[in-house]
Structure 1
């Protein structure tokens, strides 16, 4: 609103310089671009991210399998760790040696993180594997993918608004520098006679 008020104020003002009007139009154009282009850019980026992430969710669900592993033994000196893949990031996990059967039927044996606070031999716990039984991270869920897409869209809108505002500031900065340069030239022309008695008489 200040920009529109500034344009109206400069419209018939006798003290108005051309640069004042240009500066006001640049500010109004930047405001309109931020209000129109930034949301459109955010929507487009968010939609593209949503499509890509939901496709990734479908692919991960198809290629990753939830299987049950059996604790063979707890590793000596194993510490409780936070599971980085959990939604809260606070689920306790312990490093154990375990056996499991891959979706293709092959037997597997190895060191894994068990979601058990005090694992004992024979305890069962779920893990995620690929078709051949190799350990993989849990698949991305749809809600998390949507959250990431929304954040990507919001970030794109903010970036667009920042670029527009940066462009506006750069244009105004160049205009002000040009104005100061013209003032310096005018002062240089008037400088030698400034303050002398009888000058201009």
Structure 2
């Protein structure tokens, strides 16, 4: 990590400037924040995301019900689908017209996604809400945990990136100020700096 390169400026050196020492402290603080703050941010965001997703999983499992459906007839498949995402999803199953009984006892008929090998009369499982409308399969706990871990890792990376960006901005501003000081020193020295009798 480049933030540690400024630590050498703590050495006793007659050429060390005050800004060198400040830069080394900025590097150390950035390293500490990245080492401790980024993981803390990741754990915090990950646990909050886990709680929210676990509640969503519970709610989905309460409101969505697996019911058996029967294939009535096959639907004609589209010939060409230019979107690779929808075409891959289509290739993993097939659209059919099916009958299913909702949890409230009503019989429904409509288009549904069935296994690729489905034929008229075959039975397969669909997910419905309380009123028999088809809904996506509820999220499972493993998927929720994976999403929470990704959220935590992303938050930790963002926190580390922000700290490093702040460190670079502080060093850049110190460098600009250093150059401005040098320019003023050269202006004070004048054009005849180092010449005999110039008072230098």
Q: TM-score, normalised by structure 1?
A: 0.87
CA drift at 1:112: 1.1
Partner of 2:75: 75
The within-5 A match list for 1:10-25 is 10-25=10-25
Equivalent-residue separation in structure 2 for 1:130 and 1:80 (angstroms): 32
Contact 1:104–1:131 (Cα < 8 Å) also in 2: yes
Mark the CA change 1:170 to 1:183 in structure 2 (over 3 Å): closer, same or farther.
Answer: same
CA drift at 1:199: 2.9
Equivalent-residue separation in structure 1 for 2:109 and 2:131 (angstroms): 12
Mark the CA change 1:59 to 1:79 in structure 2 (over 3 Å): closer, same or farther.
Answer: farther
CA drift at 1:71: 0.8
Equivalent-residue separation in structure 1 for 2:161 and 2:120 (angstroms): 57
User: What do residues 148-192 of structure 1 show as CA deviations (whole Å, max 9, x unaligned)?
Assistant: 111111111111111110000000000000000111111122233
Q: TM-score, normalised by structure 2?
A: 0.87
Partner of 1:189: 188
Contact 2:6–2:23 (Cα < 8 Å) also in 1: no
RMSD, aligned α-carbons: 2.6
**What SS is found at the alignment partner of 1:193?**
coil
In the alignment, structure 2 segments of 5+ residues that lack a partner are none
Contact 1:78–1:94 (Cα < 8 Å) also in 2: no
**What SS is found at the alignment partner of 2:190?**
helix
Partner of 1:53: 53
In the alignment, structure 1 segments of 5+ residues that lack a partner are none
**What SS is found at the alignment partner of 1:192?**
coil
**Number of aligned residue pairs:** 195
More displaced 10-residue stretch of structure 1: 46-55 or 191-200: 191-200
Mark the CA change 1:92 to 1:5 in structure 2 (over 3 Å): closer, same or farther.
Answer: closer
Mark the CA change 1:80 to 1:100 in structure 2 (over 3 Å): closer, same or farther.
Answer: farther
Matched, 1:149 2:152: no
CA drift at 1:195: 6.9
**What SS is found at the alignment partner of 2:181?**
helix
Contact 2:57–2:141 (Cα < 8 Å) also in 1: yes
User: What do residues 33-64 of structure 1 show as CA deviations (whole Å, max 9, x unaligned)?
Assistant: 11111111111111111111111111111110
More displaced 10-residue stretch of structure 1: 181-190 or 5-14: 5-14
